Structure 1
Amino acid sequence: MFDRITVLLPADGLLFHTLTGTETLSRPFVLTAELLATDARIDRHALLGKPVTFTLPTDGLMNALSPRYLNGKITRIAVRSQELSGTRYAVYQLTVEPDLWPMQRDRNLRIFQSQTVPQIVQTLLKEYAVNVETRLAGNYRVWEYCVQYQESSLDFISRLMELEGIYYFFSHEADKHTLVLCDAPDQHQAFPGYETIAYHVTPSGGVVTEEGISQWSLAESVTPGIYSTDDYDFRKPNAWMLQARQNPASPVPGSVDVYDWPGHFVDHSHGESYARIRQEVWQAEHHSVSGSGTATGIAPGFTFSIINAPHFSDNGEYLVTSATYDFAENSYASGDTGDSRHNIHFTVLPSSVTYRTPPETRWPKTHGPQTAKVVGPKGESIWTDRYGRVKVKFHWDRLAKGDDTSSCWVRVSSAWAGQGFGGVQIPRVNDEVVVDFINGDPDRPLIIGRVYNEASMPPWALPAAATQMGFLSRSKDGTAETANALRFEDKAGEEHLWIQAQKNMDTHVKNDESHSVGGERSHYVAKNELNRVEGNQIQAVKGGTEILTGLSKVDAVVEQYVLASGSQLRLVSGESAIELNANGTINLIGKDFNFFVENDGHITTGGKLNLNTSGAKPGTSAPGAGHKGDIDAAVKEKFTPGKENKAGAIASAPADASQNAGAAANSQAPSFSGFGADVDNMVEKSPTMKQDITTLKKRGWVFKEGAAGKGTFADRQSRTITVDKSNMNDAAKVVQSLSHESGHALYKPDINVTSRETYLNSALSDEGAATLNNIRVQREIIANQGGDIGIAGNAANQKGYNGIYDSLSKGNISESEARTQIGRIFGKGEKTSTTNQLYEDYYGGWYDKNYPTK
């Protein structure tokens, strides 16, 4: 009846003996073949991973055009010795699997974004060189974010296809096999020549003389009555997402309810589709038809129509869902062709019933939180959306670019999240955040915290500042010196609250405000101050009050103005004074006086009126001609540097109770830079230079004049910037020196002594930072019409320096790259002001001396 089964292998001398195994819809097949050879020395290793094809002759029930093929890859080889009919054979046992076999054995973590399940499946199949035919007819949702998480690639695509109702089978050819994706009953055809297969009864003890079906068995089983699934989408928090679907095949619909949560969907229609697919799984399981036969055209994924079925109602078309093969050719050993065995045990489903793969593949779960780095587009330090979500790069993600394409938008937990109220703290690019996953689902990350690391340290030095807690923000794209702050110091005896606004501060009290200070209070305003009171204002001072004004002071009232003193009231100005005493005496003193009235004038006295009385003495005194200078000095004394409180505001010096404004000591206004008014005026035109000096002063740096000819330099250890005395007569030179050395002082080079080259690069980057700062200050001063301070160093190098600075300004290179490029030019073209060596030789000599063996 049957012709011999043959095998095609990339090796000679092997004869087919047996073939067993199972093919099932949506499962990789596993076949086991035994081949015979008289030579046990065949190179087994050379066969691993190679293709093999088994050719099964067809009987041609309906004029079959070609034989049936089973093609796959050899994934295991074993050999044993066996004696058959007096001949010793080497029996080679081959395990044969589809091209999917590497996808069963790998393990990966990978993110897919904005793709449908068919797109994800085909991407992975293509990467593993699996031949694919797509017959899908359904419309599939786009998954915003889908993660393969610590699972094989096959498990990953299997669970997705099970959820979406996609299944597959293999179509075998002489030299390959193809994975066919399906989602509907009409996507299957009969194996050519086996459109109809007859059922016949095998005679007791006899054999069948033609291909057909010899056993046919039907069974029905109880399946659940209703399937329910639900989920939640934060973008539609009040949406009703629950989906329920009854199983009409259940004998007691609704009595057994299977409820799944979460359902892996965020759209109502997707949940409806998933519920329908689960219902179709049960419908397929409800009717179980199995059988066996010899028709080699019975293959999973193909249909056939049975005729002459045991029950007339069973005649009809069926889809083969699984086939278990048992083939043998024993004539090599016995010489008897009757020993051949060609049996196929199978399961089928009426072709009108939609097949769905049971959801058996496990969905991965995360095991606790993990950390990730916040990312965003190039040049952005804060990247968020309307929900305050951010993008992250997981440490395990090998394919991520580290930009805004690295993940989906991830929600951020907040200490308080209300309806238009609560707390907001957006994690910034490069922050390390703690990520957990809702219900352990890797597709649903949630940021629950933030942590420091070696690259992102706490704002206050620990453990020294362990008693301090609070918040220190950072101006967008700013530095450590540009921040808003709220800090609490809880060290016993030194408790302190520090508040800083980097620019503006607005406080709005909708009703009453009470302000109480137990000790002293200092108030400093660098520019103007405006106080407005809609009602009345009362100021009460138990002690004295002193008001010093550097220019003019105007008091103006619409109605009555009263100046009252319980003892004495004096108005003084230079050589003049008016004094009103509580005893009724009024004294005036001055050089001249003039009374002028438009109309009548009256002088009335109860006693005598004496004019030009001989020997009379003044009843009071005037401050004298130096009075204005004394007041000016007293005002300036209140703004003397060095009298700053911990919050950075200038505090007034304590007043001496015996001293009045007229006795204040003369003093000169201090220089901001420490190098005089001309330098200060130029510094004022550069925001960078002004901020640098302020920052360095806060850090304890000192600016001083050095000896002539000894050079200009910054000493980080002593926190001193020394300017060569020979530059002191040129304000532009001084500012140039300050801008360059401040660049050194504010930059912290990462010195790398691994090799001479790495050391030179890291050391010269310090010079690059200083030169960049010099150019930045120079351009700011020029832009504000303040003159040109120039660039420190060799004029021949300045074109190169400016070109690099321009590239940095345009965003073509990073700050780090700019420092390195300028540093290399600096090293080869500039000399030190102290040793007159090229900087490359200066730094290189130090390295050679300290690391002679490297």
Structure 2
Amino acid sequence: MFSRITAQLPADGLLFHTLTGTETLSRPFVLTAELLATDARIDRHALLGKPVTFSLPTDGLMSALSPRYLNGKITRIAVRSQELSGTRYAVYQLTVEPDLWPMRRDRNLRIFQSQTVPQIVQTLLKEYAVNVETRLAGNYRVWEYCVQYQESSLDFISRLMELEGIYYFFRHEADKHTLVLCDAPDQHQAFPGYETIAYHVTQSGGVVTEEGISQWSLAESVTPGIYSTDDYDFRKPNAWMLQARQNPASPVPGSVDVYDWPGHFVDHSHGESYARIRQEVWQAEHHSVSGSGTATGIAPGFTFSIINAPHFSDNGEYLVTSATYDFAENSYASGDTGDSRHNIHFTVLPSSVTYRTPPETPWPKTHGPQTAKVVGPKGESIWTDRYGRVKVKFHWDRLAKGDDTSSCWVRVSSAWAGQGFGGVQIPRVNDEVVVDFINGDPDRPLIIGRVYNEASMPPWALPAAATQMGFLSRSKDGTADTANALRFEDKAGEEHLWIQAQKNMDTHVKNDASHSVANNHSHYAGGNELYRVETNRVHGVKGGEERLTGKGKLDAVVDTYVVGSGTKLRFECGESAIELNANGQINIVGKGFNIFVQGDGHITTSGGKLNLNTDGAKPGTSAPGSSHKQNISQAVDNLFPPKQKGQAAPAAPKAAAAPAKGAAGPKNSDNFSTISPIILRHEGGYANRASDKGGPTNHGIAWDTWKKYSKEDLGVEPTLENLKKITPEQAEIIYKKRYWDPSGFNDIKDPKLALMSYDWSITSGGAGKQIQKLLNSQYGQNVKVDGVIGPDTISAMNSVEDSGKLTNSIAEIRKQYYTNLTISDPKNLPNLNGWINRVNDCLDFKG
């Protein structure tokens, strides 16, 4: 007869009755035990999650050194009343699972970067306090990017281990169990004392009284003949990635092809390894051996050698891959003569065959696109690589810092992508992008679009400008006024095309170019203009033409220079003028003249006489006079009125005109009276929590503040009792005098922006610097980052054209600040919802 099985757990008065369940390689075990007691009032809740150990005696001829243990945690407990052999018992039914039980029940979305599968597995096992031993001998690839996506932690690590050929078993001890990671046959040993187990031949109806194996059966199954897998790497678009592996154990090798796409690899050697692992799965499945026995040393993950096997060729060493337990003891009642039952049904594999876990755990699929925020290192507004990829932070990623470590490089779809040609539009940091996933694989994100949100609005006001379409870029680290632009206005009767170059504009035409304007055309150059024509030029004006030059003008030609007029040609300068008429009359007027030639000269009048110094002669024309220069200068100036000089084309309509940069808004004397109730609504009554470094607080007035200002501001002695009695109206006086008025928050034009900034400032010492950094990085300001919300900072806030957008930006970084605070210190979790609601109240403020 066998010795009794016993159970050790943190409760008295429970006796072992039965134990059933299965242990399998690479699967968490589930055992069901029944324990007997005469008391049905044992605290069941107190036993949940607690350890229990079953001691299995090692009797018979095996002469084991110590009992075999089965250890786990109680995950379910039920009780019923049952009569056994005339005695009424409370039967407690326990469900026992390994330390992995929380990992079966959780669900998470999490990103791992630049880690191997063993590193990922050990990270998660450590977080769940699972004892682990690593016996791995293989070399494992580094996963650049690996995502746990809406799945349990156990499913996540299971699918990765199945892919890479890693499996595990549990080594049980008296007070714990250890998960052992393996990847090769030589990493297994026999259970002490069970190196050899005999097969017992019994006559029909015979009883075996010592440990051994009583049943032994063999089976062979058909398996596919070839496994092939393939994948694609955009960095090597022409590379041949296909890997195929033939299964020699198949009855028809090569005839049944299992083809997997994608293979989850981008390196040729990794694909080769995955194909080999799948082949080894089939080899292990092809030849199966099962049996039954009473040797308690038959345990998954351990080996034994069978002797006296039914077929001599079966004698040898085997690895136990699963064990199903059926253990029972009699009811301990007087007169109960029932025998104990210690049966184990098992499956084994020749120890020389490599075990691989069948790939049964599904890989998660994403269900449609989602959005994410583009991120980058601190101070960078554009962050990309040679492929135009960017980094993003997914909205579900609770652990990301929101910088360039938040994700892998993500490819960006383009409307046109060719071999050295196409379109390029790099998403900027803080843009919201639409992300889909190749083949639904969360490890392979792809940006397919961009969207606007409340913090990132369209470049022109909608719906007022709904007829406008186009592109408006932004100078890197620039302001709302620094951009290249192409905009189409499609309003009927007001159609308009606007092109703006923020600095230089170069147009290169490799052949002909034509430019036609049906109506008026204006051209303005704020600096110099150089006009070059290598051959001939024709300049024609059907109507009149005026050319005005503010300074000198030089016309010089190498050959003939002809100036012609069909009616009159006139040259004038101040008090002088020369006039040539079509009828042949030439008039010259001036105050004096000087003609000097070094050679001969002739004045000939062929048709009449030449009069010199004639009394009473009158000029044939008139000169413009001494004001001629001034008149020309004025005419030039009239072409360049100050309001037009350098002015760009009009911008799209906005909801409201922007103030001049740096201009403070008008004083809002009533801002505090409308804002204060919102603040006080979130500041509770008296509290003195040990976790609050500020000490005693009432209506948001901390002890140090009370001691400093209560006497001066309220005429009240700075005692703890008086702090407890402070009214909201008294707290409001201190808030206004000590925080509101000195800082100049009253000068902020937008009341909602004033509330959002002021509320953060009184709840966080670092708010000032965060607001200043935001103004500099996203709104083109240049304020000193000193944490002081003074005139310069407030002036910069007022100069932001869209104050609502700035308010939303501050709200976003406030929420991220509180979230990061909670992640770094989980004790803050109870406060998180209150903090977020406080920000939302500020956003809902109507002013």
Same fold (TM over 0.5): yes
1:125 aligns to what SS in structure 2? Answer: helix
2:788 to 811, 821, 824: 821
Amino acid in the other structure paired with 1:262: P
SS in 2 for 1:362: coil
Q: Is 1:528 matched up with 2:528? A: yes
1:447 aligns with 2:414: no
Q: 2:529, 2:223 → 1: CA distance?
A: 81
**Conserved 8 A contact 1:73-1:96:** yes
Letter in 1 for 2:663: E
Residue in 1 that maps onto 2:811: none
The SS at the match of 2:119 is helix
- Cα distance in 2 for partners of 1:462, 1:638 equals 36
Tell me the CA shift for residue 557 of structure 1.
Answer: 1.1
Aligned-residue offset at 1:209: 1.5
Structure 1, residues 229-286: CA drift from partner, whole Å, max 9, x if none?
A: 0000000000000000000000000111000000000000000000000000000000
* Distance in 2 separating the partners of 1:388 and 1:312: 67
Q: Which amino acid aligns with 1:631?
A: I
Q: How many Å separate the matches in 2 of 1:809 and 1:515?
A: 42
Contact 1:761 1:820 in 2 (8 A): no
Spell out, residue by residue over 1:5-47, the C-alpha distance to the aligned partner (whole angstroms, 9 max, x if none).
Answer: 1100100000000000000000000000000000000000000
Shift of 1:333: 3.0
Opposite residue 18 of structure 1, the aligned amino acid is T
> In 2, distance between residues paired with 1:418 and 1:195?
66
Q: Please give the per-residue CA displacement for 1:631-656, whole angstroms capped at 9, x wherever unaligned.
A: 1111111112445899539xxxxxxx
- In the TM superposition, 1:75-474 aligns within 5 A as 75-333=75-333, 335-336=335-336, 339-474=339-474
User: Partners of 1:381 and 1:338 in 2: how far apart?
Assistant: 79
Map of 2:625 onto structure 1: 624
Deviation at 1:2, TM superposition (A): 1.5
Question: Counterpart in 2 of 1:635?
Answer: 636
| C-alpha spacing 1:766/1:638, structure 2 compared with 1 (3 Å) | farther
1:764 to 744, 767, 770: 744
Does structure 2 retain, via aligned residues, the 8 Å contact 1:499–1:647? no
Shift of 1:294: 0.2
Distance in 1 (CA, whole Å) between partners of 2:613 and 2:321 is 135
Structure 2 distance, partners of 1:720, 1:55, is: 82
In structure 2, the residue matched to 1:684 is none
Counterparts of 1:19 and 1:143, CA distance in 2:
42
8 Å contact kept, 2:461–2:653? no
Provide Cα deviations, 1:415-464, integer angstroms capped at 9, x if missing partner.
00000000000000000000000000000000000000000000111111
Aligned match of 1:688: none
Q: Distance in 1 between matches of 2:242 and 2:745?
A: 62
2-structure distance, mates of 1:161, 1:311: 36
**Separation in 2 of the partners of 1:107 and 1:719?**
49
Q: Do residues 741 (structure 1) and 663 (structure 2) align?
A: yes
Unpaired segments ≥5 residues, structure 2? 680-731, 751-767, 795-846
CA RMSD of aligned residues (A): 3.0
Contact 1:570/1:579 (CA < 8 Å) preserved in 2? yes
CA distance in 2, matches of 1:420, 1:431: 26
Distance 1:580 1:175 in 2: 122
> In the alignment, residue 632 of structure 2 is paired with which amino acid?
I
1:382-781 matches, within 5 Å, as 382-606=382-606, 607-642=608-643, 647-648=648-649, 740-741=662-663, 754-755=678-679, 760=740, 764=744
Please give the alpha-carbon distance, in whole angstroms, between the structure 1 residues aligned to 2:213 and 2:594. Answer: 139
Distance 2:298 2:656 in 1: 87
CA contact (8 A) 1:768 1:823 kept: no
Whether the 8 Å CA contact 2:392–2:406 is kept in 1: the answer is yes
Amino acid at match of 1:421: F
| 1:580-616 CA distance string (max 9 Å, x none) | 1111111100000001111211222203222122332
Cα–Cα, structure 1 residues 266 and 503, in superposed 2: closer, same or farther, change >3 Å?
same
Greater length-normalized contact order (CA 8 Å, ≥ 6 residues apart)? 2
Match of 1:5 in 2: 5
The 2-side partners of 1:826 and 1:614 are apart by 82
The whole-number CA distance in structure 2 between the counterparts of 1:288 and 1:51 is: 34
Aligned counterparts, 1:38-53, within 5 A: 38-53=38-53
Alpha-carbon distance in 2 for matches of 1:810, 1:198: 77
Give, in angstroms, the shift of residue 822 of structure 1.
Answer: 3.4
Cα distance in 2 for residues equivalent to 1:129 and 1:428? 41
Distance apart, 1:556 and its partner CA: 1.1
Alpha-carbon distance change, 255 to 806 in structure 1, aligned in 2, over 3 angstroms: closer
Secondary structure of 1:333's match? coil
Amino acid at match of 1:35: L
How far apart are 1:60 and its partner, in Å?
Answer: 5.8
Counterparts of 1:147 and 1:319, CA distance in 2:
33
Q: CA deviation at 1:132?
A: 0.1
The change in CA–CA distance for 1:323 and 1:761 in structure 2 (over 3 A counts) is: farther
The separation in 1 between residues aligned to 2:449 and 2:658, in whole angstroms, is: 38
CA distance in 1 between counterparts of 2:88 and 2:772 reads 84
Distance 1:343 1:386, change over 3 A: same
CA contact (8 A) 1:808 1:818 kept: no
CA contact (8 A) 1:24 1:321 kept: yes
1:207 CA drift (Å): 1.1
Quick one: distance in 2 between partners of 1:319 and 1:814? 70
| Paired amino acid for 2:296 | T
- In structure 2, distance between residues paired with 1:190 and 1:720: 83
- Asked if the contact 1:112/1:145 (under 8 Å) is kept, the reply is yes
Amino acid aligned to 1:614:
D
| Alignment check: 8 A CA contact 2:434 2:449 kept | yes
Cα distance in 1 for partners of 2:88, 2:743 equals 78
Residues 460, 653 of structure 2: 8 Å contact kept = no
Distance 1:193 1:306 in 2: 13
Question: Percent of counterpart pairs with the same letter?
Answer: 83
Q: CA deviation at 1:558?
A: 1.3
Give distance in 1, aligned partners of 2:774 and 2:488.
43
> 1:817 deviation in Å?
8.5
Mean alpha-carbon deviation: is it higher for 579-588 or for 159-168? 579-588
AA aligned to 1:553 is K
Q: What secondary structure does 2:113 align onto?
A: strand
Is the Cα contact below 8 Å between 1:331 and 1:339 reproduced in 2?
no
- Report deviation, 1:510: 0.6
Deviation at 1:61, TM superposition (A): 3.8
Using the TM superposition, give the Cα deviation of residue 331 of structure 1 relative to its aligned residue in structure 2, in angstroms: 4.6
TM-score (norm 1): 0.80
Separation (CA, whole Å) in 1 of partners of 2:331 and 2:221: 43
Are the counterparts in 2 of residues 391 and 408 from structure 1 also a CA contact under 8 Å? yes
Distance 1:439 1:23 in 2: 35
Count of residue pairs brought into register by the alignment: 714
Does the aligned pair in 1 maintain the 2:772–2:784 contact within 8 Å? no
| Change beyond 3 A, Cα 1:520–1:179 | same
8 Å Cα contact 2:84-2:331 kept in structure 1: no
CA displacement 1:113-158 (0-9 Å, x = unmatched): 0000000000000000000000000000000000000000000000
For 2:497 and 2:411, locate their aligned partners in 1 and report how far apart those are by CA, in whole Å.
32
CA distance in 2, matches of 1:557, 1:53: 110
The 2-side partners of 1:531 and 1:96 are apart by: 90
